[in-house]
């Protein structure tokens, strides 16, 4: 099997365009690093005989497929953010995924409008606190606005896609007026200017710069097995059971869609279904400490480390549609200034 790991995507796509569609092949366009996919794709080929040609596109996936038009070789798109996959739907480059496996495995709120995309794995955005300085074990997202955290809250940039998705979820649940007030309260609680990465907030908790922060769960997992200073950052934090008031935990997703003009549609469906299987879910989720969407996978690495989560039932399609409005509010309150 050939995977395009940081190869020239232009060169590979040209080769795919020049070659006739193969009955036993499938072409995958992905914004996920291929190294995180190879074990699953290898297993798929071994079990099905279908070769996967993977094209890594860091940016502009949907624009690329739209530009390629009816002759695009893309069969499956795999991306790591609900905004990205919804942008593909809005660009008109997807088609509904008709599959009994999808219907059985993936809850409705974790699928796109008209089943134009499906979640493969979940990652939660939760609160972590100083293990030494904070005693509580649970919190709501709304409680981050409590003035008791003044000068103690750390977060990466408000306009980063991870936070944009979270603020869009908050907006979907609470409306624009309450979300604006929430952002102002979070800004008032900041210990430093928003910035850096998710792992940096754990570093800053260790240093004493802040006591509480937002982080994606898979970063907690990656720090837990680190062989460098990041293991010390992990040891300094305590993950809290984090939910919306009266609701579940905010999640973002790795998601897949079938391209509108997929030349190998049957194999595209077969690949998506395989990635939802118990075996593939264990491989894929454990590779990056994400939560599997297949509920038959009971002992994933993320669950062993962090316990189970109950995702917020707000449809992710609604969250995606509110991302621009959320970004506008972040700018309005000067959150990142």
Per the annotation, binding residues for Fe cation are 218-219
**Hey, how many other C-beta atoms are within 10 angstroms of the C-beta on 15?**
12
Whose tokens are 């970063």? That residue is 219
Q: What kind and span of H or E run contains 95?
A: strand 94-95
- Chain centroid offset of residue 18 CA: 33
CB 142 within 8 A of CB 244: yes
CA–CA gap between residue 178 and residue 63 (Å, rounded)? 34
Quickly list DSSP for 207-265.
HTS-SEEEEEHHHHHHHHT-SSTHHHHHHHEEE-EEE-TTS-B-EEEEEEEEETT-TTH
CB 183 within 8 A of CB 333: yes
- Residue 192: which residues within 8 A CB-CB, separation 6 or more? 154, 204, 209, 210
Residues tagged in the binding site annotation: 218-219
CB 235 within 8 A of CB 130: no
Where on the phi/psi map is residue 289: left (φ > 0), alpha (ψ -120 to 50), or beta? left
Helix and strand totals (H; E) in the chain = 15, 13
CA–CA gap between residue 321 and residue 330 (Å, rounded)? 16
Whose tokens are 């790991």? That residue is 5
**Which backbone phi and psi does 64 adopt, to 5 degrees?**
-65, -45
Q: What is the DSSP letter of 300?
A: -
């Amino acid at each position: 099997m050939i995977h395009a790991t940081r190869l020239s995507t232009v060169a590979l796509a040209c080769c795919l365009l020049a070659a006739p569609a193969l009955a036993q092949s499938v072409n995958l366009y992905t914004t996920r690093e291929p190294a995180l996919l190879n074990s699953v794709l290898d297993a798929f080929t071994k079990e099905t005989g279908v070769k996967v040609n993977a094209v890594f596109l860091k940016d502009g996936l949907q624009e690329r497929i739209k530009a390629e038009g009816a002759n695009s070789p893309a069969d499956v798109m795999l991306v790591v953010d609900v905004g990205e996959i919804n942008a593909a739907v809005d660009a008109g480059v997807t088609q509904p995924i008709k599959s009994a496996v999808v219907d059985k495995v993936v809850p409705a709120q974790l699928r796109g409008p008209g089943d134009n995309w499906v979640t493969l794995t979940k990652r939660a955005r939760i609160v972590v606190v100083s293990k030494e300085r904070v005693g509580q074990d649970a919190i709501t997202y709304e409680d981050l606005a409590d003035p008791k955290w003044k000068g103690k809250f750390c977060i990466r940039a408000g306009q980063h896609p991870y936070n944009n998705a979270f603020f869009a979820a908050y907006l979907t649940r609470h409306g624009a007026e309450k979300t604006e007030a929430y952002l102002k309260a979070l800004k008032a609680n900041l210990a430093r200017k928003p910035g850096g990465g998710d792992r940096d907030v754990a570093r800053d908790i260790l240093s004493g710069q802040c006591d509480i922060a937002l982080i994606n769960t898979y970063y907690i997992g990656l720090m837990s097995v680190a062989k460098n200073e990041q293991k010390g950052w992990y040891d300094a934090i305590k993950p809290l059971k984090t939910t919306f008031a009266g609701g579940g935990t905010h999640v973002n997703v790795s998601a897949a869609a079938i391209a509108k003009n997929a030349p190998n549609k049957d194999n595209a469906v077969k690949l998506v279904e395989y990635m939802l299987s118990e075996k593939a879910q264990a491989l894929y989720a454990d590779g990056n400490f994400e939560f599997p969407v297949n509920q038959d996978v009971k002992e994933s690495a993320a669950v062993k480390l962090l316990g189970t989560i109950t995702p917020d039932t707000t449809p992710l399609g609604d969250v995606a549609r509110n991302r621009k409005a959320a970004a506008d509010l972040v700018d309005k309150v000067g959150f990142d200034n």
